[in-house]
């Protein structure tokens, strides 16, 4: 009989010769092995077209651990690598799946693994549907153990394509067998949003429109599009970052406390928060959203080209590399509280932060100083530092009787600065254990696309934007400042 909690399994990585497997998946699997999370009975099968041997895969796994500076214990490295096997196949050919099934069966025998099968799709999205369908039709999913499908982004490029993809994979896998990855949900401090909110008696009573004036979420990058120009130019920041990571953070901040900390209850509250997002109609888009594209500039002392000069990007591209937006959530808790988001490439800092700004005191007893009392802020540092800061007011130590902001800090630098290997490690571990809490349910995906599609369509209908409109190495176009200024706010600095 199927035991959902049994962790002993075979992990098949489709796309094992690719970038994601090398940079994120192999180091994560090693870390899980080193921590004893995988136990002795597991196998990893790398699948791709390249004509590699088992040994070539193992050499590449070892190389990926070295390049990612994973701490390796040489004593058990060979034992670890012995669990890796490679199969050369084309995912579009039916015969491939019969060969793969034979290899899985052999390894289940060799390593004494129950028929628990994890299929990780680290492949371009056009293959997601066909792979899922072949896995079922060719008998690789089974009734004896569990079957899980881990699926990378992008999950569609709009609501209709996402729905079509979902229908395709649902033909082969049940919703509870599908693990849609949003790697932000694997980040330590994103997971901590719930803990900060629901394990601290001092915050929950204040977590509403009576006490919070606005919430700001920034995810800025210093990198450009690197080798992903071909994908990114068809996607843009709205669909690459807002539809998934930014809206997931909004949902976690806005949701009601779940009645229990179970996958179903948490997802249900996130879904309700996303349902309450006020849609932005075409004629309002400029009032609520700002788009930008970087021109040439200087990022951290290096001259960099503008977006339109990046490899595989259309020289007249109208794709946005920056988005700022004001989101409103129409429910009792949040009515009237703007959630500002911004994300972009080639910005001044690599930083993901959430600033929760509390309302002013009802009366300023320190008015004689002609100084405004600084608003209280709760800052959640997601990356590269991880932690929280609380900004209060204290008295200046100079006998002036004036107030000064005082920062209470709990922060530490994440092990690898960018934190993503740990995110993948956590997500893989969760999926192996059958915990889908930090993966996105189809309803969340659908609601996010619905929200984002309206903005995208409104932009499409307008004439081409005046791009480039921000310099690489800056904080985005000036209109992003206006978005908050019109409400009497400003973006809090990223180095707070
Ligand atoms: N790289 C990253 O940091 C991130 C990637 N992702 C997502 O992960 C997925 C994979 O990305 P990434 O690793 O960068 O992509 P790559 O292009 O580096 O890798 C693609 C993989 O697919 C294999 N492949 C392509 N066609 C076939 C085929 N017909 N049959 C079998 N194998 C095939 C390639 O191997 P071969 O040529 O040997 O067949 C290769 O292993 C994408 O959906 C991407 O959006 C998401 C977040 C971050
Ligand atoms: O999903 C994506 O995320 C990365 C940013 O991730 P982070 O963990 O480094 O913040 C982004 O660069 C990429 O374009 C996008 O596809």
Query: Which residue out of 151, 157, 181, 221 has the highest number of ligand 2 atoms within 8 Å of its CB and is therefore the one to mutate?
Result: 221
pTM comes to: 0.94
Q: Is the pLDDT of residue 419 over 80?
A: no
Q: Residues in the chain, how many?
A: 496
Residue 114: the pLDDT is 95
Contact criterion met (CB below 8 Å) for 119 and 181: no
**One-letter-per-residue 3-state SS of 89-139:** CCCCCHHHHHHHHHHHHHHHHHCCCCCCEEEEECCCHHHHHHHHHHHHHCC
pLDDT digits (tens, 9 = 90+) for 225-276: 998 999 999 999 999 999 999 999 999 999 999 999 999 999 999 999 999 9
Q: Is 245 a catalytic site residue?
A: yes
For the beta carbon of residue 461, count every other beta carbon within 10 angstroms: 9
Averaged pLDDT, 58-86: 95
Cβ 420 under 6 angstroms from ligand 2: yes
* Separation in Å, CA 147 to CA 92, 132, 178: 21, 11, 9
Residue 397: the pLDDT is 81
Which residues have any ligand 1 atom within 6 Å of their CB?
15-20, 23, 48-50, 89-92, 122-125, 152-154
Residue 418: the pLDDT is 47
Q: Is the pLDDT of residue 420 over 60?
A: no
Q: Is the pLDDT of residue 148 over 50?
A: yes
Can you tell me whether residue 322 is helix, strand or coil?
A: strand
Annotated catalytic residue within 54, 85, 211, 245: 245
Percent of the chain with pLDDT over 70: 95
Can you tell me whether residue 474 is helix, strand or coil?
A: strand
For the beta carbon of residue 60, count every other beta carbon within 10 angstroms: 20
Cβ 321 under 6 angstroms from ligand 2: no
Lowest-confidence pick of 113-122, 222-231, 414-423, 431-440 = 414-423
pLDDT digits (tens, 9 = 90+) for 386-410: 999 999 988 888 877 778 889 999 9
Q: Directed axis angle between helix 94-110 and helix 128-137, to 10°? A: 60
pLDDT digits (tens, 9 = 90+) for 466-494: 999 999 999 999 999 999 999 999 999 99
DSSP 352-407: EEEEEEEPPPSS-TTGGGT-PPPPPEEEEEEESEEEEEEEEEEE-TTSS--EEEEE
Residue 416: the pLDDT is 45
What is d(CA 154, CA 127) in angstroms, rounded to the nearest whole number? 12
Residue 6: the pLDDT is 86
Averaged pLDDT, 15-22: 95
Across 266-280, b (16+ Cβ under 10 Å) vs e yields bbbbbbbbbebbeeb
Lowest-confidence pick of 125-129, 295-299, 365-369 = 365-369
Sheet bearing 470-472, strands edge to edge: 302-304, 294-299, 470-472
Q: What is the mean pLDDT of the chain?
A: 94
């Amino acid at each position: 009989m199927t035991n959902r909690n049994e962790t002993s399994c075979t992990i098949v990585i489709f796309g094992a010769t690719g970038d994601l497997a090398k940079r994120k998946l192999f180091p994560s699997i090693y870390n899980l092995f080193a921590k004893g999370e995988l136990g002795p009975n597991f196998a990893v099968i790398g699948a791709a077209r390249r004509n590699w041997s088992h040994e070539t895969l193992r050499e590449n796994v070892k190389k990926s651990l070295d390049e990612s500076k994973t701490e390796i214990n040489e004593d058990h490295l060979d034992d670890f690598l012995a669990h890796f096997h490679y199969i050369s196949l084309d995912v579009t050919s039916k015969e491939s799946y019969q060969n793969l099934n034979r290899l899985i069966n052999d390894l289940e025998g060799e390593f004494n693994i129950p028929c628990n099968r994890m299929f990780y799709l680290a492949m371009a999205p056009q293959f997601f549907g066909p792979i899922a369908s072949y896995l079922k039709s060719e008998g690789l999913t089974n009734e004896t153990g569990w079957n899980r499908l881990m699926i990378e982004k992008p999950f569609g490029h709009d609501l209709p394509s996402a729905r079509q993809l979902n229908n395709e994979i649902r033909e082969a896998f049940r919703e509870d067998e599908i693990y849609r990855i949003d790697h932000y949900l694997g980040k330590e401090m994103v997971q901590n949003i719930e803990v900060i909110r629901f394990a601290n008696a001092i915050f929950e009573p204040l977590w509403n429109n009576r006490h919070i004036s606005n919430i700001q979420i920034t995810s800025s990058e210093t990198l450009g599009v690197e080798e992903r120009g071909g994908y990114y130019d068809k996607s843009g920041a709205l669909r690459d970052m807002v539809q998934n990571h930014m809206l997931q953070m909004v949902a976690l901040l806005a949701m009601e406390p779940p009645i229990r900390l179970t996958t179903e209850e948490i997802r249900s509250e996130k879904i309700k928060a996303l349902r309450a997002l006020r849609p932005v109609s075409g004629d309002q888009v400029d009032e609520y959203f700002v788009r930008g594209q970087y021109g040439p500039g200087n990022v951290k002392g290096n001259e960099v080209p503008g977006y339109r000069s990046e490899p595989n990007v259309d020289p007249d591209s109208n794709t946005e590399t920056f988005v700022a937006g004001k989101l409103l959530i129409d429910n009792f808790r949040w009515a009237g509280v703007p959630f500002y988001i911004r994300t972009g490439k080639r910005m001044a800092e690599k930083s993901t932060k959430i600033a929760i700004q509390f309302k002013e005191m009802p009366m300023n007893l320190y008015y004689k100083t002609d100084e405004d009392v600084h608003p209280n802020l709760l800052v959640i540092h997601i990356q590269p530092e991880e932690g929280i800061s609380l900004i209060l007011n204290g008295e200046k130590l100079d006998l002036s009787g004036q107030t000064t902001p005082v920062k209470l800090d709990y922060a530490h630098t994440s092990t690898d600065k960018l934190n993503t290997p740990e995110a993948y490690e956590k997500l893989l571990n969760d999926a192996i254990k059958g915990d889908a809490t930090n993966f996105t349910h189809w309803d969340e995906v659908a609601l996010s696309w619905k929200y984002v599609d309206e903005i995208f369509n409104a932009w499409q209908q307008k004439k081409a934007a005046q791009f480039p409109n921000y310099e690489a190495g800056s904080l985005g176009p000036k209109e992003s400042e206006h978005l908050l200024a019109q409400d009497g706010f400003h973006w809090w600095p990223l180095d707070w």
